[in-house]
Copies of this chain bind each other. A is one copy, B any other.
């Protein structure tokens, strides 16, 4: 899963049926230190109640559809987890609290 930060939200009234009532968040890839990478932001369906500013895990492709909220949804990216912490090489690179 991609490590990404929730940076915003999207509103779309006219959309495919199975996306109705889904929360669409704007996410941008980030480093293990929660620094934004110079990548194009994209839109993911929120399956876990994530909020802006949180560091999350985004499953892209078919994997993101194995949640109750995204089953059979025409989506290619889903927020599947809110990160509490990341550890790399024995160092805590990110800690939410």
Chain A residues within CB distance 8 Å of chain B: 1-3, 7-19, 24, 26, 29, 31-32, 37, 40-44, 47-49, 52, 57, 59-68, 70, 72-78, 80-90, 93
Contacts and interface: CB of A to CB of B under 8 A. Distances in A.
A66 B72 contact: yes
A47 B13 CA distance: 14
18 contacts: A1-B24, A1-B43, A1-B76, A3-B10, A10-B87, A12-B57, A12-B81, A13-B84, A14-B48, A14-B49, A14-B81, A15-B48, A16-B80, A26-B32, A26-B87, A31-B41, A63-B74, A67-B74
A30 to B, nearest CB: 9
